[in-house]
Amino acid sequence: MKKRLITIATVLGFGGLLAGCQSQITTTAKTYQQTGIVATIKGHAAGKTIRYRIGNGKPHTASVHNHSFVVTVAPTLHEQTVTLLSSHAPRHQVTVKAATPLGSYSQFAQRYNQIITMAHLSPKQQRQLQAATAIKKNPQAAQSNPQLLQQAQQAQNILAQARQKTRAYQLPAYRQGVHPLVRTKAYTLRGNMQDNQLMGVTMIIPLHSLKDKQAARQFGTAFMALSQACGANGKQVLRAFKRATNHQKTQQTTLKTITNHGVHYQVAFSPNGLYVYVTK
């Protein structure tokens, strides 16, 4: 009888120990850094949901499936503490490292939009704009020559029309957080904006864009504009991207990171398309 009681007590003891293990929140690491445009925290917990708080911010909820959860955090210029909470376990904290921005969002958007606009002009129209710029630098000469003034006005009208035609491809005004920037049939741009800085960009290219000449041309123009606006050499990056994708091996889901002028391009494949993560 005494032996039987000991056995039952032992089983109950192990059962309590297992229950205690299952009620803990665990994560794959204590420190995370930017991968793509977000930091991805993965872990295990009991229950159907967990709550998490970034710094002193408001709590959010993440679903738990088969005891596993994923929480994404937008990296900022500063290190962040993420607190994971559950009614089934004590709180658990991890750190998300600070990230290096691509640069000022306003400057990036201005440069990108300018490149997109100019790409939709013919060589003749581009020459007209260059002439108009020269006239602006010498207004006294223009005032004495009505023909020059007329040319300058025509050039400004051409530029205004080009901006109107490319409005769907232009970057919007600044908006804090992770948001879509441009959505077209050929590609989608998403950005992480923090404290007026652009922390990272994701370019999503559907498979049909790579097979359709017009869509591929639109994607190529946007890809080069994105690179140039980040301070990289757009032509060099596009050539490296084409070489890498042309030599992609079967079942390969990622490519070697492309780096140009300090800008990093990580390329990942999915059944539906390509994902290009641009960071510094």
Confidence tier at 121 by pLDDT (50, 70, 90):
confident
Residue 138, pLDDT above cutoff 50: yes
Is pLDDT above 70 for 265?
yes
Backbone dihedral region of 2: left (phi > 0), alpha (psi from -120 to 50 degrees) or beta? alpha
Query: Mean pLDDT, to the nearest integer, of 48-60?
Result: 95
Mean pLDDT within 143-147: 66
| Overall average pLDDT of the 33-45 stretch | 95
Q: What is the pLDDT of residue 252?
A: 66
222: number of Cβ within 10 Å: 23
The whole-number pLDDT of residue 161 equals: 87
Q: What is the DSSP string of 204-259?
A: EEEHHHHHSHHHHHHHHHHHHHHHHHHTS-HHHHHHHHHHHHHTPPTT--B-PPEE
The 10s digit of each residue's pLDDT in 1-23 is 444 544 444 444 444 444 444 57
Assigned token pair, 228: 């140039």
**pTM (predicted TM-score):** 0.83
Alpha-carbon gap, residue 118 to 127, rounded angstroms: 11
Q: How far is it, in rounded angstroms, from Cα 267 to Cα 244?
A: 9
Whether residue 258 has pLDDT greater than 70 = yes
Dihedral sign for Cα 183, 187, 190, 196, please: negative
Nearest alpha-carbon partner for 88 in 144, 154, 21: 21
What is the arithmetic mean of pLDDT over 215-226? 93
Model pLDDT for residues 75-100, shown as the tens digit of each residue: 999 999 999 999 888 999 999 999 99
